[in-house]
Amino acid sequence: MFGGDPDCSTVRPVEAAPLPQPRGPLSAAVISALRRGPEILPPVDGADPYGADLQLALYCLYEMHYRGFAGVPDEREWDPALVTMRVAAERLFLDALRGEIDPSDEVGAEIDALLVEPVDGVGPSWHLAKEGERWQVREYVAHRSLYHLKEADPQAWVIARLEGPAKAALVTVEHDEYGAGDPDRMHARLFADMMRALDLDDSYGAYLDAAPAETLAEVNFMSLCGLNRALRGALIGQFATVELTSSPGSDRLVHAMRRLELPEAAVAFYAEHVEADAVHEQLVRRGVITPLLAAEPALAGDVVFGIRASGLLADRFGGHLLRCWANGLPSLLRPVPA
C-alpha cells in the first residue's frame, strides 16, 4: 500500500447485475440486443408509456450508463440502434407525462406546496408508520433498492450542466450523499446495510425482476432527465422534490421500524435522512434553484415540470403499493422470502 492511500481491504468487488427477464416485445428485443449484439429493433409506437414492457426496456438501456449488466460488453452503451430505440422510448414516456401535467413557471408556489405536510396524509410512509407490517416494510425497501443502491448517481449527470453558485451548492449536496468522503457513510452503503439488517439481498439490481412498472418509472424519470441536457431544469425539480419532502417521510419510516422493533441497523438509513435532508432542503431551495433561475429564467417551467412529474409518478407508485397491501397481496412481482 502506498503511503496515505486508503485502506482497500474492505473494498467490495464490482459485480454487474444479470440481465432481467423480458416483459414484452420491446424489453425482449432490448435484452436480446444487449446480449447478442446489434439487430433490428421493433418500433415503440403504440406501447403503453407507463407499462412494464416499455419501462423495463428503458431501465435496461439506462443501466448501460451506470454499471451495465453481467456478460454485456460496455460498448453496447452507445450502440446506435439501442440509442435510437432509447430516444424513441424516452419521447413516448415524456409525451405521456407532459400530457398529464399542467404547465407552469411559478416555481415559488410549487416549492411552497412541497413544504406543506398534510395533517393526515396518504401514502406508503403514512401507512407503514401507522399500521404497516414487517413484510410490507421489507417490500418497500426492496422496491426502493433500485434507486437507493445508486443514490444520487442520476442527479450527478447534471453537475456539468450547471454553472457558478448552483453548481457549487448541488455538489455540496452530492458530497453529503456520497458520505462526505467516508465510503462507509455513503447513502447507498447505508441502504445496503439496512437491506442486510432486514434479511434482504443487497446485491445491486437484485430486485429488478420483481419490480413493477411503477417502481421502474420513478427511477427511469431520474435517468431520463439526467442524461438529457435539455431536461436539466426538470432534474433540478425532481431533486428538489426528493430533498424537500424526504425528511418528514424518513421520520415516518423511522417510526415504523421502531414500532415494529426492527434492528437498529435497519433504522440508520432513514434516521440519517431525517437530519441530512432538512439541511439539503435549504441548500437546494436557496443554493441551487435561486441562482439557477437567476442565470437561466427560461428553465422555470422545466423545474415545475420536474416537480409535478415526480409527484405524479410517486402517486402511481404509492397507489400500487397501497392497493396491493389493502388486499393482503405482495406489491412486488415476486414475493420477498420471509
Instruction: Specify whether 177 is located in the same domain as 111.
Output: yes
Cα distance between residue 267 and residue 212, in whole Å: 25
Looking at 62, 78, 100, the residue that finishes a domain is 100
Looking at 81, 100, 119, the residue that finishes a domain is 100
pLDDT score recorded for residue 276: 65
Q: Would residue 333 count as lying in a domain?
A: no
Instruction: Specify whether 119 is located in the same domain as 210.
Output: yes
Looking at 84, 100, 116, the residue that finishes a domain is 100
Instruction: Specify whether 142 is located in the same domain as 52.
Output: no
Instruction: Specify whether 252 is located in the same domain as 310.
Output: yes
pLDDT tens digits, one per residue of 226-238:
999 999 999 999 9
Instruction: Specify whether 74 is located in the same domain as 120.
Output: no
pLDDT score recorded for residue 277: 58
Instruction: Specify whether 216 is located in the same domain as 295.
Output: yes
Instruction: Specify whether 125 is located in the same domain as 70.
Output: no
CA distances from 59 to 31, 66, 274 (A): 11, 11, 29
Q: Would residue 8 count as lying in a domain?
A: no
Q: Would residue 178 count as lying in a domain?
A: yes
Joined together, the cell numbers standing for residue 301 give 417551467
Q: How many domains does the chain have?
A: 2
H/E element holding 60?
A: helix 52-63
Q: Would residue 127 count as lying in a domain?
A: yes
Q: At which residue does the C-alpha cell 447534471 appear?
A: 158
The domain containing residue 300 runs over which residues?
A: 107-326
Q: Would residue 5 count as lying in a domain?
A: no
Mean pLDDT of the chain: 93
pLDDT tens digits, one per residue of 21-33:
999 999 999 999 9
Instruction: Specify whether 34 is located in the same domain as 170.
Output: no
Instruction: Specify whether 157 is located in the same domain as 306.
Output: yes
Instruction: Specify whether 159 is located in the same domain as 69.
Output: no
Joined together, the cell numbers standing for residue 174 give 452530492
Instruction: Specify whether 184 is located in the same domain as 207.
Output: yes
Q: Would residue 15 count as lying in a domain?
A: no
Cα distance between residue 183 and residue 218, in whole Å: 26
Buried b (16+ CB within 10 A) or exposed e, 114-146: beeeeeeeebbbbbbbeebeeebbbbbbbbbbb
Q: Would residue 124 count as lying in a domain?
A: yes
Q: Would residue 298 count as lying in a domain?
A: yes
> Which range (13-17, 21-25, 227-231, 319-323) has the least confidence?
13-17
CA distances from 179 to 61, 176, 185, 243, 249 (A): 28, 5, 4, 16, 21
Instruction: Specify whether 209 is located in the same domain as 249.
Output: yes
pTM, entire model: 0.94
Cα distance between residue 307 and residue 301, in whole Å: 10
Cα distance between residue 277 and residue 176, in whole Å: 10
The DSSP result for 259-274, as a single string, is HTT--HHHHHHHHHHH
Q: Exposed, middle or buried, 62 (CB in 10 Å: 0-12/13-18/19+)?
A: buried
pLDDT tens digits, one per residue of 83-100:
999 999 999 999 999 999
Beta bridge partners, 69, equal 17
